[in-house]
Amino acid sequence: MGRLRARALVSQHGVPKPGLWKGFSGASTAAKAAAGYLALLPALGLLAACVPQAQGPLLPYPGGFARGGLVEGRFSLALPGTPLFLDADEKALYAAYPYQLLVYGEGRLQSLPLPGVPRFLRASPRLVVGLEGGVWTEGAFYPYPALDALLTQEGLYHVDGRGLYRDGALVLPGAFRQVVAWEGWVVALGQEARFYPAGPTLPLPGPVRKTQAGACGVVALLEGLYLLRPEGLKPLGPAQDFAAFGEKIYLAPSLEVLNCKEVAWP
């Protein structure tokens, strides 16, 4: 529903099909045309601050939930509508919209321009946003066609359905669609989970849809929710979406909050 809403917003404001910036100084024609759309969002933000929006899909984030533009939990604010993606780190909440990333932290809302429509968002360990032709970070744009990515001190890891890459170089072949960092491991997941660089391989009971790192292991959404560690995986129960923050796992649509340390490990 979030993607359909985003397409509707772009269509409504007449933004053409996006191109990508060729760096931070030379924007393509489509990126320049998106400026008109960007200019509308601050006004929408003012409206959101005045009118609570409690309708729309339920989105969990690390520390709480959002419905429509109304965010509750570790952060409390009204956004200008349902974001495509919502994530958070220790200090800030990130909401990704077409051509714009909103960052809320320390009581302030900041707007960062994006050179396209987001395909994924990861706040941790460092901020990355996936776009149609690359991966945006606060310091650089990487022209990698990624399905998922994460930025670490060692470099940018990404997966594209054919392998795991570090700074564009293949380090592990495989049909991986998600990548997450946990306890010194880089974990690539598809039909199996590989703990890189020299950890075990775990078969998965289905294709992976979403992953986040938690205090107890890698939380992965397949047909149900699972907790993964090098020694094995543990089912956590049904869910359609989730977010992990420390020991807590926030489930949608049930609004249930699990404590991972209450899960008995075999």
Q: Tell me: the pLDDT tens digits for 113-155?
A: 999 999 999 999 999 999 998 999 999 999 999 999 999 999 9
Mean pLDDT of 174-202: 96
pLDDT of the residue at 55: 76
Dihedrals phi, psi of 197, to nearest 5 degrees: -95, -25
* Rounded distance between C-alpha atoms, residue 186 and residue 152, angstroms: 10
User: DSSP assignment of 30-92, as one string?
Assistant: HHHHHHHHHHHHHHHHHHHHHS----S-EEEETTEEEETTEEEESS-EE-SS--SEEEE-SS-
* CA dihedral over 203, 206, 208, 210, signed as positive or negative: negative
Residue 266 — pLDDT band, cuts 50, 70, 90?
low
* Rounded distance between C-alpha atoms, residue 105 and residue 54, angstroms: 21
pLDDT of the residue at 189: 98
**Measured torsion, CA atoms of residues 181, 187, 189, 194, in degrees rounded to the nearest 10:** 180
* Rounded distance between C-alpha atoms, residue 138 and residue 128, angstroms: 8
* Rounded distance between C-alpha atoms, residue 220 and residue 233, angstroms: 10
Quick one: which H or E segment has residue 215?
A: none
Burial of residue 25 (number of CB atoms within 10 Å: 0-12, 13-18, 19+): exposed
pLDDT of the residue at 188: 98
Mean pLDDT of 220-242: 94
Does this model's pTM top 0.85? no
Mean pLDDT of 51-80: 89
